[in-house]
Chains A and B, each alone.
Chain A
Amino acid sequence: MAGIVSYGAYVPWYRLNRQTILWTMGWFNPAAMLPGKKAVAGCDEDSITMAVEAGVDCLQGFPREKVDGLYFATTTAPYKERQNAGIAAAALDLREDLRTADFTDSLKAGTAALLSANEAVRAQGAAQVLVAAADTRLGKMGSAQEYFFGDGAAAFLLGEENVIAELKGFYSLSADFADHRRAARDVFDRAWEERWMRDAGYLQFIPRAVAGLLKKYGLNPGDLAKVIYACPYNREHAAIAKKLGLPPEKVQDNLMSEVGDTGAAYPLMMLAAALEEAQPGDKILVVSYGNGADALYFEVTEEIVNRKDRKGVRGHLADQNDLGSYEKYAVFKNLLPLEVGIRGEEVAFTQLSTLFRERRSVLGLVGVRCQKCGTPQFPAQRVCVNPECGAVDQMEPYRFSDRRGRLFTYTADRLAASLNPPAIYGIVDFEGGGRYMFDLTDCEQDALKVGMPVRMSFRRKYSDEARGIYGYFWKAVPLREGR
């Protein structure tokens, strides 16, 4: 039996109330108004960092060294050449004898990656493959897309042992239906007429894919416990349910009130949310949309009860912060130039050879532990930092990224260059030992206290736009209640 072994999700901390967009951009396009909130990646997040966060949530309790592959699905990959999945794999501290691939260019890239991973497992090519999907698509200021698009990620571990949801079948449609597009040089999404997208797109491909799958496996809508389909238009989302004869309780919420359309990750995030509620024996259908559609058919197993401890979509939705201003959103998304001053303009060049040599420290947050005295230390040292020890070359690798810490001290710095001032940073003492200085993120100064617990989060540390280099490292996130 092959299928999903574990799942995880990530929704960034920030929300933009769509009313806030209307207040600022309504003068231009009042008709685009949509209710609810959208999730917004912080200025230190991108599709890779969000995929890593979802991957960390998914891999809780699963040994990283047993993962044989990582498929990353996105339409907003930071790099066109330099494998994005490779950066995520290093951050997750997966083995280097690993199959990595980027699935991209379509909103159904997430389901394509899921299907490919499952096939790799079934073909005995890999025992476990991690699929991580994330997107952070951008609409121009004042566009309808600006209201619809949200940022987020989901991750699934596929395998044949301890399966929580068996992937029992699929039905795929492919068509050059160019409702949305971005050419290689484009930053912003472009779309054709909305009525055509809704009527000839969502209302056609999704029901066709569902019908095709039901027919292929001899199922009736009544056999299904939950149907998930990636339709961000609330009216069409309801219309599809009606067309399929599904009562509302069998239709998975489309996340539009809290998150938005998260692109390649969208149907996968809805699947993660469904698994949070699923019962053994549930038959679940997941349908992606984009240049056609993929329909995937899962059956939940008894094992699901052992995987209810993920933070998942629900956990992330419980922890959010209103961005408050549209202008701040515009700066986070690089829509407006901010005066960052000489400190912000100065970006030292990245020594890529150094980065490769130090990749386990920088991308993986892997330090060492002294085998003589047991002291964990970061970054990796050859000479033990314990003054009572000083052993040389007796170190073993020691991963800090999945360890909690305590905030030893901190400051909120208004001189340091930041798109989200003040720059907050501090020193972290890790549980079990080890200390280093880190930037803090997803927090406000007033909530900080010496000694409070923190977790580590993979983030974009700097963007060197002139040289096309994004620097990644780990930051500390203070743990409020519920985190």
Chain B
Amino acid sequence: MAEGIKDKVAIVGMGCTKFGELWDKSAEDLMVEAFLEALEDAGLEKKDIQAAWLGTCFEEIHVGKSALPLAMTLKLPFIPVTRTENFCATGSEAFRGACYAVAAGAYDIVLALGVEKLKDTGYGGLPEFSSVLGGKPRLIFPNVTAPGAFAMMATRYFDRYGLDPQEGKLTMAKISAKSHRNGALNPKAHLRREVSVEQIMNAPIVAWPLGLFDCCGVSDGAAAAIITTPEIAKKLRPDPVYVKALQIAASSGEEMMYAGWDGAHVETTYRAGMRAYREAGIKNPREELSILELHDCFSITELVTYEDLQISPRGRAKEDIDAGFYDLDGQIPCQTDGGLKCFGHPIGASGLRMLYEVYKQLQGKAGPRQIKNPRLGLTHNLGGFPVMSVCSVVILGN
């Protein structure tokens, strides 16, 4: 019986570019930057990399499909390279491929790199979904944007738990305000300005009830990880970070087509989260986790994720938000790097960017954002819409 990959692989090097509207940088520039930082961090050379995984999503508009953009940009010497894509969970999917390859004993040292150059697509927000859903859904799927798809979850959450719209918006605003406070401390973040709850509440509506500050940044960026076996890791550095769990769940269609789903949570987060806790041996996540990097594409996503990961009780995340439980000085700091909200969201890079923050925190290298004595950190990377999603949960520890 397979028991998962807990402590079977370690991260020995990571890199992450500054995220933002990087008009003067290409996807190639970003890949090179993230790769060089990761190599230097690991103390390795390019020739040590035996296989690589590239995560890009909408990026094919820019660099094209396949593994070749990575292989040819970095001049990887004819090694195996795979391109992964799983909507916004793309970066975690690249990481998963790399981890499983090492855990399987196929390779000793591998690279996972995610990149997205959204600011060359011409869109504010993400590009049209009509081209990514496939021919049949396009004929029947409504004219959805990402904020709209997640706004429907907020509408449902407010209704289900009896929050009037102002109360609901205030709760979501506190989530965004917290991430802006954290992002302001992060030199690599896209958005580095603190924003008040009032400003957030009064911002223009994008998709009711979500306003501008309920939505994350749309950014360019790249992030990379070098993964190896625990044995090699220990030789390379004193503080490798170990993978305790790595799970992914994809919707079965139930949420969209069957009336069981309540619309006020993300089922794949719950499923992947519970499996990750089992794999990592975590019994009580509220007591055992030290740091969270959640997929806060929208404030409501972060809110329901607190509950889906069984940290806040169902319908009661508001109490923890009001109490500052997830603040930088709270019991489980969340989005210490600003999250998608402020670090930004270059799709293919985001999953690896979350891992980068948890990795740095576990090594005590997070600068002014450093939290005390972290033991276990969780990343949550969500792709698609609440009604049809893929979700990756990774737990790291030292």
Can you name the residue of chain B whose Cβ is closest to the Cβ of A445?
Answer: B208
Q: Which of B199-252 contact A (CB under 8 A)?
A: 204-210, 252
B123: interface (CB < 8 Å): yes
Query: A401 in the interface, Cβ–Cβ < 8 Å?
Result: no
Contact B258 A387 (CB under 8 A): yes
The reply to whether B143 and A417 contact each other, CB–CB distance below 8 Å, is: yes
**Contact across chains for B257 and A436 when beta carbons are under 8 A apart:** yes
Give per-residue flags for A367-380: 1 if the beta carbon is below 8 A from chain B beta carbons, else 0: 00000000101110
User: Contacting B155 at CB < 8 Å: which of A378, A411, A429?
Assistant: A411
Is B278 in the interface zone, CB < 8 Å from A?
no
Cβ-defined contact, B155 with A387, below 8 A: no
Docked Cα-Cα span, A436 to B137, in Å, equals: 12
Q: Is the CB of B152 within 8 A of A427?
A: yes
- With most chain A CB atoms within 10 A of its CB, the pick from B130, B135, B252, B260 is B135
B333 shortest CB reach to chain A, Å = 30
Contact with A along B180-197 (1 / 0, CB 8 A): 000000000000000000
- A354 CB–B CB distance under 8 Å: yes
Given the complex of chains A and B, what is the CA–CA distance between A413 and B142 in angstroms? 11
> Which of A181-189, A287-295, A340-348 lies at the interface?
A340-348
Contact between A409 and B156, CB atoms less than 8 A apart: yes
Query: Quick check: A425 and B258 within 8 Å, CB to CB?
Result: no
For A173, what are the chain B residues with a Cβ–Cβ distance below 8 Å? Answer: none
A473: Cβ under 8 A from any B Cβ? yes
Contact A375 B140 (CB under 8 A): no
Tell me which of A387, A415, A450 contacts B260 (CB under 8 A).
A387
Please measure, in the bound complex, the distance between the C-alpha atom of A280 and the C-alpha atom of B320, giving whole angstroms.
70
In the bound complex, how far is the Cα of B258 from the Cα of A433, in angstroms? 8
**B 120-161 binary contact with A (CB < 8 Å = 1; else 0):** 001111011011000110111111110111011101100100
Answer whether residue A434 sits at the interface, using C-beta atoms and an 8 A cutoff.
Answer: yes
Q: Point out the residues of chain B lying under 8 angstroms from A434, CB to CB.
A: 257, 259
Give Cα A445–Cα B156 distance, bound, in whole angstroms: 15
Q: Are B128 and A346 in contact (CB under 8 A)?
A: yes
Q: Are B138 and A423 in contact (CB under 8 A)?
A: no
Do the beta carbons of A381 and B257 come within 8 Å of each other?
yes
- For window 436-454 of chain A, which residues contact chain B by CB distance below 8 Å? 436-439, 445, 450-451
Is B263 part of the contact surface with A, judged by Cβ < 8 Å? yes
Q: Does B258 contact A435, Cβ atoms closer than 8 Å?
A: yes
Determine the chain A residues whose CB is within 8 A of the CB of B124 once the complex forms: 415
Whether A348 contacts B138 by the Cβ 8 Å rule is yes
A71 CA to B128 CA in the complex, in Å?
38
Name which residue of chain B comes closest to A354, CB basis.
Answer: B135
* Complex-state Cα separation, A87 to B301, whole angstroms: 40
Instruction: Contact check, B142 vs A437: say whether CB atoms are below 8 A apart.
Output: yes
Evaluate contact between A411 and B152: CB separation under 8 angstroms.
yes
The verdict on A377 contacting B257 (CB below 8 Å), with A408-B263, A416-B145, A450-B159 known, is: yes
Choose among B122, B141, B148, B204 the residue that contacts A411 (Cβ–Cβ < 8 A).
Answer: B148
B148-A423 in contact (CB<8A): yes
Chain A nearest Cβ from B186, distance in angstroms: 27
* A142 proximity list for chain B (CB < 8 A): none
Please report the C-alpha to C-alpha distance between residue A346 and residue B210 in the assembled complex, in whole angstroms.
Answer: 24
Q: Give the total of B residues in contact with A, Cβ under 8 Å.
A: 44
Interface residues on A, range: 35 or more
B253 at the interface (CB under 8 A from A): yes
Known contacts: A350-B139, A408-B263, A425-B143. The answer to whether A377 contacts B207 by CB under 8 A is no
A441 CB to nearest chain B CB (Å): 11
Q: Is A255 an interface residue (CB 8 A)?
A: no
**Complex Cα gap A52–B152 (Å):** 30
Inter-chain contact B143/A423, CB cutoff 8 Å: yes
Separation of A461 and B143 alpha carbons in the complex (Å): 9
Pick the contact of B258: A379, A385, A437, A451 (CB < 8 A): A385
Contact of B156 among A342, A379, A418, A450 (CB under 8 A): A450
Interface-forming stretch among A101-109, A271-279, A355-363?
A: A355-363
- Whether A413 pairs with B263 at a CB distance below 8 angstroms is no
**A364 to nearest B CB, angstroms?**
11
Is B256 in the interface zone, CB < 8 Å from A? yes
CB of B254 closer than 8 Å to a CB of A: yes
Which B residues are in CB contact (< 8 Å) with A417?
Answer: 143
B113 interface hit (Cβ, 8 Å): no
The residue of chain A having its C-beta at the shortest distance from the C-beta of B132 within the complex is: A348
Centre residue among B136, B148, B263 by max chain A CB count within 10 A: B148
CB distance from A431 to the nearest CB of B (A): 11
List of B residues within 8 angstroms of A347 by Cβ: 130
**B125 proximity list for chain A (CB < 8 A):** 415
Tell me which of B153, B159, B256 contacts A435 (CB under 8 A).
Answer: B256
Among the listed B128, B153, B257, which residue makes an inter-chain contact with A343, where contact means beta carbons less than 8 Å apart? B128
Q: How far is the CA of A379 from the CA of B260 in the complex (A)?
A: 17
Tell whether, in the assembled complex, residue B156 and residue A412 are in contact, meaning their CB atoms are under 8 Å apart: no
- Among residues of A, the one whose C-beta sits closest to the C-beta of B123 is A342
B143 proximity list for chain A (CB < 8 A): 413, 416-418, 423, 425, 439
Residue pair A412, B208 in contact (C-beta under 8 Å): yes
Find chain B residues with CB under 8 A from A435 CB: 256-259
- A362 and B148 in contact, given A342-B122, A387-B254 (Cβ under 8 angstroms): no
- How many angstroms between the C-alpha atoms of A350 and B204 in the bound complex? 34
A426 nearest CB neighbor, chain B only: B152
What 0/1 readout, one digit per residue, does chain A (389-402) give for beta carbons within 8 Å of chain B?
00000000000000
**B144 A437 Cβ-Cβ under 8 A:** yes
A358 in contact with B139 (CB, 8 Å): yes
- Chain B CB within 8 A of A212 CB: no
Question: Is B253 within 8 A of A354, CB to CB?
Answer: no
Among A342, A355, A422, point to the contact of B208 (Cβ < 8 A). Answer: A422
Whether A410 contacts B258 in the complex (CB less than 8 A), given A354-B136, A415-B147, A416-B145, comes out as no
Contact B152 A355 (CB under 8 A): no
Query: Residue on B with the closest CB to A362?
Result: B139
A306 within 8 A of B: no
A412 touching B207, Cβ below 8 Å: yes
For A426, list chain B residues within 8 Å (CB). Answer: 152, 155
Does residue B297 face the partner (Cβ distance < 8 Å to A)? no
The answer to whether B141 and A437 touch across the interface, beta carbons within 8 angstroms, is: yes
A358 to B141, CA, bound (A): 13
Residues of A near B156 (CB, < 8 A) are: 408-409, 450
Q: How many Å from the CB of A470 to the closest CB on chain B?
A: 12
B130 touches A409 (CB 8 A): no
Q: Are B136 and A358 in contact (CB under 8 A)?
A: yes
A347→B130 CA distance, assembly (Å) = 8
With contacts A411-B152, A434-B257, A450-B159 taken as known, whether A354 is within 8 angstroms of B139 at the C-beta atoms is yes
Measured CA separation A445–B147 after assembly (Å): 16
B387 on the A face (CB < 8 A): yes
A386 within 8 A of B: yes
Contact residues in B for A450 (Cβ distance below 8 Å)? 155-156, 159
Please tell me if the beta carbons of A410 and B152 are within 8 angstroms of each other in the complex: yes
Interface centre among A385, A387, A438, A461 (most CB of B within 10 A): A385
Cβ contact within 8 Å between B153 and A413? no
How distant is the Cα of A411 from the Cα of B150 in the complex, in angstroms? 9
Chain B residues with CB below 8 A from A381, complex form: 253, 257
Q: Which 9 A-B pairs have the closest CB atoms?
A: A413-B148, A411-B151, A425-B142, A413-B207, A409-B156, A348-B130, A450-B159, A439-B142, A351-B135
Could you give 9 example pairs across A and B, Cβ below 8 Å?
A385-B257, A410-B152, A412-B205, A414-B204, A415-B124, A415-B206, A425-B148, A435-B257, A450-B155
20 A-B pairs besides A348-B130, A408-B156, A409-B152 with CB distance below 8 A are: A342-B122, A351-B135, A354-B136, A358-B139, A379-B136, A379-B140, A381-B257, A385-B254, A411-B152, A411-B155, A413-B147, A416-B144, A416-B207, A425-B148, A426-B155, A427-B263, A434-B259, A437-B142, A445-B208, A450-B159
